[in-house]
Amino acid sequence: MQIRNIAIIAHVDHGKTTLVDELLKQSGVFRDNQRVSERVMDSNDLEKERGITILAKVTSIVWNNMRINIVDTPGHADFGGEVERILCMVESVVVLVDAAEGPMPQTKFVVGKALKIGLRPIVVVNKVDRSDARADEVINEVFDLFSALDATDAQLDFPILYGSGRVGWMSDSPNGSRDQGLAPLLDRIVEHVPPPIVGDGEFKMIGTILEKNPFLGRVITGRIHSGTVRSNQNIKALSPDGALVEVGRVSKILAFRGIDRQPIDEAHAGDIVSVAGLVKATVADTFCDSSVDEPLKAQPIDPPTVTMTFVVSDSPLAGTEGDKVTSRMIRDRLFKEAEGNIALRVEESSSKDAFFVSGRGELQLAVLIETMRREGFELAVSRPRVVMKKEGDDILEPVEEVVIDVDEEYSGAVVQRMTLHKSEMIELRPSGLNRVRLVFLSPTRGLIGYQSQLMTDTRGTAIMNRLFHSYQPHKGEMGGRNNGVLLSNEEGKAVAYALFNLEDRGSMIVEPGDKVYQGMIVGIHTRENDLDVNVLKGKKLTNMRASGKDEAIKLVPAVKMSLEQALSWIENDELVEVTPKSIRLRKMYLDPNERKRRGKSVNLYEFN
């Protein structure tokens, strides 16, 4: 059976995973009476909760006696490393573009990578049934984007399809027939996508996806570059620089069949399979026959732009809610994560209790922290910081391209706020329905925590998308948080009476009955300075009978922060304490005398 390998790439929420759902249904993968969950490829709990794809995944369908391997990819720029590494597995890409939004930053990023390695795309204008669809304009924008990315003449001669992945139809025109379902897309894949280019010689394969299986151990997925691999065959793994990683035996070969994987006895060049049997090899290593000495060349991955410090929790409540609290456990978990995620970098610090974790953005790191807390970890993490570069005497910082779609009435507030963050506006154009599209070049520093501020400024009507642009000279100092914090000066449980009396001082972030300790942040001060307060102080009891209205205290609801909001809200001298049950904010130094001596500007875990 002939093989075609293809990836579906697009910006977040343009419909990649939904389209894969329909392809699986219409190609006969599921029984007629089988109950199938929505976004069946998003199997991770966090993916289902957030409605996003975090990990690239492979599925396979058969169409007209041809096997089509399809790779579903993430849309967020934070998980761009997943997209970069899977492009070497495929011979073409389906570029999915929203009929109303057009090409967005992540579209530009992944399309640029695909064009650079010579892939010829198929363009699908999705969601043409939207009321604000503008399919013809979007195609012109896609062509302009391809031209700007130095596409060849062959790449610019791309097939175009229009349709709706959710409803499950494709056609050669926006108003074409809907009777054929997704058959036009599958036929176009068969016609347009070339067969896999296979090399001569013995078995070779680059590992692109790593996972742990409770029965098989380490399982590596990749496309076989040359030769044949068989069960029980002796193979070895070579690092990208050619060093021997390990020698082992293939215990199992798994082929993708629909959303399942089935064991097979042998696999041939061009197919995408999973191989088990090795215990040390990881992503970007070359898996090959024992006689091979030269590794395959892996695609380079863009470096991380944001770093955070993961610290062993030293709070008085440490160990009360989680069972994984030691530095060794945290270290092992972080390095295990870095093995399978090449866009993540983990480094040890001079302190045995602190680790530097660098990634593509706050979302990527927040997903890692959320995953760890669900596994039972307790730890503290610092505010995200950008990764600076030094060239000669110049300090360079990462700058991102930011696209904000907003109602016209709020555009002035957005421009004003972005200017305060040292941003430069490079484009302003109407996008229909009384909305405008603003494009900025902004330092990553100024964007940390800006999402929640943008929602406040625009009453929740703005949509922001970001993408790494380049490293540029340092833009100078930026203003930080305007408010100080209210700090607990005692350890115990917060009391409603004390919180009620402190409401004039600021907004509370703890509720009655919450456990607090000295140095823990319990509220947001109305002024710029920090203030130590007592939230344990109860009402003095007397022998006088109180009236009912004196006892009924009505508190203003506490401010609740998500993990991402907490990470971006804290300052350099503060930490977010994360446990399986709680998210607490605290000062880095809990003792007030130590805090005064160290000062606000000092960060114990800054890079050397």
pLDDT at 235: 93
Name the residue with higher pLDDT: 399 or 552: 399
| Chain-centre distance for alpha carbon 54 | 6
Pair (167, 237) in one structural domain = no
Pair (451, 493) in one structural domain = no
**183-192 and 16-26 helices cross at what angle (nearest 10)?**
100
Question: What percent of the chain lies above the pLDDT cut of 90?
Answer: 35
CATH number for position 40: 3.40.50.300
126: annotated binding-site residue? yes
- Is a pLDDT exceeding 50 seen at residue 130? yes
Residue 608 confidence class, pLDDT cut points 50, 70, 90? very low
Residue 322 confidence class, pLDDT cut points 50, 70, 90? confident
- Lowest mean pLDDT across 9-13, 266-270, 540-544: 540-544
Pair (134, 30) in one structural domain = yes
Q: What is the pTM of this model?
A: 0.78
Considering the domain boundaries, does residue 107 fall inside one?
Answer: yes
Note whether 247 and 236 are within 8 A (CB): yes
Considering the domain boundaries, does residue 568 fall inside one?
Answer: yes
Residue 511 confidence class, pLDDT cut points 50, 70, 90? very high
For the stretch 425-451, pLDDT in tens is 999 988 777 889 899 999 988 888 788
pLDDT at 215: 86
Considering the domain boundaries, does residue 350 fall inside one?
Answer: no
User: Where does a domain end: 167, 192, 217?
Assistant: 192
What residues make up the domain containing 255? 204-289
For the stretch 31-61, pLDDT in tens is 454 555 454 454 556 655 666 666 677 888 8
Pair (456, 496) in one structural domain = no
CATH number for position 503: 2.40.50.250
For the stretch 292-312, pLDDT in tens is 888 988 777 777 888 999 999
- Is a pLDDT exceeding 90 seen at residue 508? yes
Buried/exposed code over 17-50 (b: 16+ C-beta within 10 A; e: otherwise)? bbbbbbbbbbbebbeeeeeeeebbbbebeebeee
110: annotated binding-site residue? no
User: Where does a domain end: 140, 171, 192?
Assistant: 192
Pair (545, 444) in one structural domain = no
13: annotated binding-site residue? yes
129: annotated binding-site residue? yes
**135-148 and 105-116 helices cross at what angle (nearest 10)?**
50
The three-state (H, E, C) secondary structure of 172-229, written as one string: CCCCCCCCCCCHHHHHHHHHHCCCCCCECCCCEEECCEEEEECCCEEEEEEEEEECEE
For the stretch 240-275, pLDDT in tens is 888 999 999 999 999 988 778 899 999 999 999 999
**What is the tally of structural domains in the chain?**
4
For the stretch 139-148, pLDDT in tens is 999 999 899 8
Pair (188, 99) in one structural domain = yes
Pair (504, 590) in one structural domain = yes
Residue 60 burial class via C-beta count within 10 angstroms: exposed 0-12, middle 13-18, buried 19 and up = buried
pLDDT at 564: 84
* Cα–Cα separations (whole angstroms), residue 76 to 81, 208, 342: 10, 19, 16
Residues in the chain: 608
Pair (574, 466) in one structural domain = no
pLDDT at 48: 58
15: annotated binding-site residue? yes
Q: Residue range 116-129: average pLDDT?
A: 91
CATH number for position 398: 3.30.70.240
For the stretch 479-503, pLDDT in tens is 777 889 999 999 999 999 899 999 9
Considering the domain boundaries, does residue 172 fall inside one?
Answer: yes
Note whether 336 and 54 are within 8 A (CB): no
16: annotated binding-site residue? yes
Handedness of CA 471, 103, 341, 227 (dihedral sign): negative
Pair (126, 265) in one structural domain = no
Considering the domain boundaries, does residue 328 fall inside one?
Answer: no
Contacts of 409 (CB under 8 A, 6+ apart): none
18: annotated binding-site residue? yes
Pair (152, 17) in one structural domain = yes
